[in-house]
Every structure is written in structure tokens, then in C-alpha cells.
Amino acid sequence: MAIHLNLSQATIREKRLKSIVGYQGTIKDLAEQSQSGCLKNATRGFSQATNCNSGCAQGYLSTITDAAIVNHGPIGCAGDVAGANAGFQWGQSIRDWNQRNVRIINTNMSEKAVVFGGDQILKEGILKAYERFKPKAIFVTTSCASGIIGDDIESTIKKAEAEIGIPVVPVFCEGFRSQIWASGFDAAFHALLTRIVKPAEKKRPELVNVINFAGSGRAVITEIFGRLGLVPQFGIPYSNIEEISRWSEAAATISICGTLGSYMGNGLEQNFGVPYVTALQPHGISGFDDWLTKLGETVGKEKEVEEYLAEQKVLAAPELEEIKFKLKGKKVVVGMGPSFAHNYIRFLEDLGMEVVWGFSWHYDAKHDHGGCPSCTVELTKTDKDIPVSVSDQQNHEVINLLSKVKPDIFIGRHPGMSVWATKMGIPAIMVSDEYSAFGYQGTIEFGHRIIDALTNNSLAVNLSKRINLPYTEWWLEQDPFSFQEQKNKKRESENKKNVAVR
């Protein structure tokens, strides 16, 4: 789908990528329905707190080293800033930088502003951010309140920009506008693509943009890319405005996460001529092979990649065998964002584990290059059809399902979810670092992490004995997905089969 940089806002994922937050069935069915274009979202009669796109947008942009953010809304909408700052401390610390706090100002919208309009406080906020931080650019993130009362954000921003002479860029991310929090990444990237990235003056054939989060894998990637004659440029986090403005110079863009990178990668490809590598994620061996091979194909380094991978295979083989032997047949439930989920399902199956259920916190029926996500398609190529569901971290579905399928381990991503498996006595791993299971050595590391989690589960066991879950017995006896509308559900009998057989 084309990325339109003449629009002031990114189109939300529901409209652009036919993304959904409600589905239950199997991976093959999901892929088939996506490809035939008939995938529909199921709504729920009961729902629990999820996340919104504003958090993703301002969290991601807040890591740009010389930019500032003005969050236009009541103070609660900046409630995530403490979390963004914690992440920022981590990112600076692993770089050995002098640590400072994130630069986010909230306009503290009061009842008065809600009634009479918030344009004035927004202007004040922008000027204050300029005065305090002397940033190279200011991003203005919107809120539910600013969206509903209809503040004229764009004209206020233009006026402020004329006064201070740096880019002041709107980032439309009202919480209610999209059910898919990843729309916030697109909103952030849209702001960068429209106002920060400049057409390349010269091309740098050795340079590869790597879209990631905190970027703990920098050293490893730099080494690998170095062998291929390539130089990685990591971002967007911990880059500055000048560096981002030159992302158009690169020979290719690649991402650690398909959900994250789709908008920026394709936006750079469509509008600045930088090819985007749409590969599997580099988690697990087959994913990493695909990721690096596709990159090699894009930048003409096929031979170098082939040599490197052949060497790694030999080196890693004995340890991988040992891990596979220990993990064989262990039942696992995965719960992550869509790209991570579908990539980890493949990776864990590759390790010989049995993925008995895959939750993804949303699902994009396609990515911005037009096709169904490659990690999803890849899972349809085997005989096995894995049961999956899509939910925006709907806790009642997850808990209910876990109580029925009783896996040996739950592997999750996103804060506030894996703990629930622990409370049920199930060993859990929370993948917070995007470079967990990266490449050959990362895969081995992660294999050992699973083995360790299975070796001593005393925390979970003891917790589960003494605490009560907040669910009624009635609920735990129901079908986990009974609050999803029928639209997307498999027939009752098939559904029972998937859930109850375990």
C-alpha cells in the first residue's frame, strides 16, 4: 500500500493494512483469509485494558537525541513518559553515555482548555520546549482530549514553527483513533518521513539502515556487516535529527521487527529509493539466514553472506543439537506482537518445541509492501497447522486458554503479560530485548534461557499455590474466545478440538 507523504497523518493500520485485534482459528486459515482479503475483525462483549498508539509514538520519538516532544493533552497522557525514560536510561547506559532524562513536555490540559480550546497552551508548550531544550526538532503528539475538542493543531504548529525556526511536526496519535497501538509507530515514522528525512545528495552503497528499538545488538551486527563490507546505521532510537535526515543515503533498510519497520522501510523505498528488505526476522537460525540472505541479495553481497552463514552453521551445530535434545516436545504458548509472535513460533518449532498456541497482540493482514507478512506465510509451509488467536492482550482469553492447554512454558513480549502465566505456575520468559535470539549465538543463548526457566520453576509454583486469579470459576469453564463475535470464529466443534485436546 502506498505511503502518502502529502497527507498530514499516517493512515491507521485498520485501514491501511486491514489489521485486526480479534480472531481465533489457525495460522493457515489466518493466512488464507488475509490473502483472499476476507479477514474480518471480531469485536468483544467483554474487554480489558490494552495500550494505545500514543504510547508507541511518543516513546519511540523520545529517544531521538536532539529532539523534544510536546504532548498535547491532560497530564495523564504523559503517564507513559516515566516508562519511556526508564527505557532511555537503559539505552544510554548500554552506550556508556552521560545519562539525561527524556525531553517531553505535556501541555497539562485542564477543564478550561477542554471547554475553550487548547491552542494557546499548545503554543506555550512548544515555546517552552524550545526554550528548555534547544532541540533540532519538536514533535507534537496529540491526545484523546485534543482530538475530540478539535484543536487546530496544524495551524498552531505552523505559527510556532515560524517563530522558532526549527521543524515542529504533528504526530497524530489520539488513543481512540486506532485499536492498534503499532499505528503509533507509523505516526512517528510519518512525521520523520514527511519533515525530517531529506532526499539524498549522495548515495552510500555500504550503508544499511537498521530499524530497531534499544539496539543492544549493535556490536554484533557491526561485526557481521563489517565482514560483508557493509556499515549499519541504527535507529531511530539514539540517532539525531541530522543522521535521520540522511537515512535516504543508504543502500537498503532492514528491520529487526516487521511490525515496527513496515512503514519506515516502505516509505523510504517508495519515496526515497532506498530498498526495504522484507525478510523473516533474524530470530532463530532460519530467520537469521533469511534476513541476512535477503539483505545480501538486495545489496549484492550474496557470496559473502553465503560464506558467513556456512561458517556459522558449523560453529553452532554441536550446541544447537544439545539444546534441541533438551527442548524436544516441550509445549509452549507464545504471546507477542504479530511479527515477533509468528517469527518466534517458527523459531521455537525449529528448536523442536511444540507450539500449542500462538497469541498475537494484533495482526496485519498485509504489510506496506503489499503482501501478507512473510513470517505468517512461512508458517503455512509446513504440514502442521498451529492454533492461533489475535487479541490486544485480552487477559481473560490468555488466562482461560493457558488454564486449559497447560503448556510447559509461556514465552511472551510486552510488559504486564508474562507475569500472569507465572501466577498460574507456568514458567514464563519475557522477551524484552529485541535482540534476544538474534543470529546463531543469540539462538543458543535463548535456548539456554528456556532450559534454565524449565529447570527451576519454584517462583511460579509457589506463587500459584498461594494467590487467586481474579476470574470466576464460570469464566474458566467457558470457551476462551466466547466473547469474540462469531464472525471469525471457527465452528464450535473445531474450536473445541483445538482448545480441549491438550
Partner 1 sequence: MSLCVEQIRHVCTLGAFESVLAIKRAVPIVHAGPGCVAKLWTTLGSQNGHQGSGYVGGHAIPCTNASEKEVVFGGTDKLRKVITNTFDVIDGDLFVVLTGCTSDIIGDDVGEITRKFQAQGKPIVYVETGGFKGSNLIGHELVLGAIIDQHLQPQEVEPGLVNIWSSVPYQNTFWSGDIEQLNILISSLGLKPNVVFGPDSSVDAINDIPKAQYNLVISPWVGLRTAEQLKNKFGTPFLHYPALPIGPTETSKFLRTVGEFAGIDPAVVENVIRKHEDRYFYYLERAADTLLETRLLPRRFITVADSLYALGIARFLTNDMGLIPEKQFITDDTPNDYQSGVAAEFEQFTSGIVAETVFSNDGGYVEEEIRKLKIRSRPLILGSSWERVVARDLNAYQLSVSAPIGNELVLSKSYVGYNGALQLVEDIYSVVLNDFM
Q: Should residue 73 be labelled a site residue for ligand SF4 when binding is judged by CB under 6 A?
A: yes
Strands 23-26 and 387-390: antiparallel
Residue 138's Cβ-side half-sphere holds a number of Cα atoms within 13 Å equal to: 32
Q: Least distance (Å) from ligand SF4 to the CB of residue 62?
A: 17
Q: Least distance (Å) from partner 1 to the CB of residue 97?
A: 12
**451 within 8 A of 323, measured Cβ to Cβ:** yes
Q: Should residue 179 be labelled a site residue for partner 1 when binding is judged by CB under 8 A?
A: yes
Question: Which entry of partner 1, ligand SF4, none binds 474, CB below 5 to 8 A by partner kind?
Answer: partner 1
**Which one of 210-218, 236-244, 250-258, 472-480 is the stretch in contact with partner 1 (CB under 8 A)?**
472-480
Question: Which entry of partner 1, ligand SF4, none binds 99, CB below 5 to 8 A by partner kind?
Answer: partner 1
Q: Among 5, 149, 164, 309, which residue interacts with partner 1 (rule: CB under 8 A)? A: 149
Question: Which entry of partner 1, ligand SF4, none binds 106, CB below 5 to 8 A by partner kind?
Answer: partner 1
Q: Taking CB under 8 A as the criterion, which residues in 399-418 touch partner 1?
A: 415-417
Q: Taking CB under 8 A as the criterion, which residues in 62-91 touch partner 1?
A: 70, 73-83, 85-86, 89
Place of cell 543470529: 439
Q: Give the span between the Cα atoms of 55 and 139, in whole angstroms.
A: 14
H helical segments located in 94-143: 111-116, 119-133
**Which one of 101-109, 249-257, 280-288, 457-465 is the stretch in contact with partner 1 (CB under 8 A)?**
101-109
**Edge-to-edge strand ranges of the sheet holding 354-360:** 23-26, 387-390, 354-360, 331-336, 409-412, 428-430
**The three cell numbers locating residue 202:** 549522495
Question: Which entry of partner 1, ligand SF4, none binds 159, CB below 5 to 8 A by partner kind?
Answer: none
Q: Should residue 484 be labelled a site residue for ligand SF4 when binding is judged by CB under 6 A?
A: no
Q: Give the span between the Cα atoms of 145 and 122, in whole angstroms.
A: 13
Q: Taking CB under 8 A as the criterion, which residues in 119-148 touch partner 1?
A: 121, 124-125, 128, 132, 143-145, 148
Q: Should residue 391 be labelled a site residue for ligand SF4 when binding is judged by CB under 6 A?
A: no
Q: Among 19, 255, 360, 393, which residue interacts with partner 1 (rule: CB under 8 A)? A: 393
**Which one of 142-150, 224-232, 240-248, 435-443 is the stretch in contact with ligand SF4 (CB under 6 A)?**
142-150
Q: Should residue 49 be labelled a site residue for partner 1 when binding is judged by CB under 8 A?
A: yes
Q: Should residue 48 be labelled a site residue for partner 1 when binding is judged by CB under 8 A?
A: yes
Q: Which residues contact 197 (CB under 8 A, 6 or more apart)?
A: 244, 245, 247, 248, 268, 272
DSSP secondary structure string, 212-261?
A: -SS-TTHHHHHHHHHHTT-EEEEESTT--HHHHHTGGGEEEEEES-HHHH
Nearest residue to 64 via CA among 42, 35, 84, 40: 84
Q: Should residue 76 be labelled a site residue for ligand SF4 when binding is judged by CB under 6 A?
A: yes
Neighbours of 482 (CB within 10 A): 18
Burial of 464 (0-12, 13-18, 19+ CB in 10 A): middle
The site map against partner 1 for 411-450 (x = CB under 8 A) is ----xxx-xx------------------------------
Q: Least distance (Å) from ligand SF4 to the CB of residue 74?
A: 3
Q: Should residue 143 be labelled a site residue for ligand SF4 when binding is judged by CB under 6 A?
A: yes
Q: Among 27, 56, 77, 280, which residue interacts with ligand SF4 (rule: CB under 6 A)? A: 77
Q: Least distance (Å) from partner 1 to the CB of residue 133?
A: 9
Q: Should residue 28 be labelled a site residue for partner 1 when binding is judged by CB under 8 A?
A: no
Q: Least distance (Å) from partner 1 to the CB of residue 89?
A: 8
- Coil, strand or helix: which one is 405? helix
Q: Should residue 177 be labelled a site residue for partner 1 when binding is judged by CB under 8 A?
A: yes
With CB atoms as reference, the residue minimizing the distance to ligand SF4 is 76
Q: Least distance (Å) from ligand SF4 to the CB of residue 109?
A: 8
**332 within 8 A of 354, measured Cβ to Cβ:** yes
Q: Give the span between the Cα atoms of 332 and 412, in whole angstroms.
A: 10
Q: Should residue 144 be labelled a site residue for ligand SF4 when binding is judged by CB under 6 A?
A: yes
Sign of CA dihedral 463, 466, 472, 475: positive
Q: Among 22, 55, 59, 74, which residue interacts with ligand SF4 (rule: CB under 6 A)? A: 74
Q: What Cα–Cα distance (Å) separates residue 202 from each residue in 197, 317, 379, 488?
A: 14, 42, 40, 50
DSSP secondary structure string, 59-74?
A: HHHTTSTTEEEEE-S-
The site map against ligand SF4 for 173-212 (x = CB under 6 A) is --x-------------------------------------
Place of cell 471547554: 115
Question: Interface with ligand SF4 by CB under 6 A: which residues?
Answer: 73-74, 76-77, 79, 143-145, 175
